[in-house]
């Protein structure tokens, strides 16, 4: 995960617990770890290049980097381009591919928890 600041984030504990569970049934996950990197905005582009060169298979992007990361990578899904931001990067040999799962995740949660559809409803998602 790359963000600034990130010391408060529970994501490393949550994702590392999930990876431990996955590694019980799928040994390929045994050596996987989820790390948090506090990267100031001025260092984002360089950091993304280094993470890619080091072979990081994926990267979560959080505030304040979601918009800047989209501009710094070469490829993004249509949903990420429409959102104008990325929150997930996928490693490909030629560079990062950006995704935005925020809208899908929010819409699915609202549908499951409240049995409501957001289709055609304007939504402002912050954070």
pLDDT in tens, 12-60: 999 999 999 988 888 888 889 999 999 999 999 999 999 999 999 999 9
In whole angstroms, what is the distance from residue 96 CA to residue 87 CA? 12
Note the pLDDT tens digit of each residue in 66-111.
999 999 998 999 999 998 999 999 999 999 999 999 888 888 999 9
* pLDDT value at residue 61: 97
Are the beta carbons of 90 and 97 closer than 8 angstroms?
yes
DSSP conformation class of 61? B
Is residue 54 part of the annotated active site? The answer reads no
- Contacts of residue 99, defined as CB under 8 A and 6 or more positions apart, other chains included, come to 76, 77, 79, 80, 86, 87, 88, 89, 90
pLDDT band at 64, cuts 50/70/90?
very high
pTM of model > 0.75: yes
Query: Among the options 52, 65, 66, 97, which is catalytic?
Result: 66
Q: Which residue has the tokens 């409501």?
A: 116
């Amino acid at each position: 995960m790359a963000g600034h600041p990130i010391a408060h984030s529970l994501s490393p504990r949550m994702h590392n617990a999930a990876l431990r569970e996955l590694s019980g049934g799928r040994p390929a996950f045994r050596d996987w770890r989820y790390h948090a990197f506090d990267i100031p905005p001025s260092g984002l582009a360089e950091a993304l290049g280094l993470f890619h060169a080091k072979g990081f298979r994926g990267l979560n992007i959080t505030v304040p980097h979601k918009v800047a990361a989209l501009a710094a990578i070469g490829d993004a899904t249509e949903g990420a381009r429409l959102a104008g931001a990325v929150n997930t990067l996928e490693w490909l040999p030629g560079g990062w591919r950006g995704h935005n799962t925020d809208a899908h995740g929010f819409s699915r949660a609202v549908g499951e928890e409240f049995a409501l559809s957001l289709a055609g409803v304007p939504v402002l998602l912050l954070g």
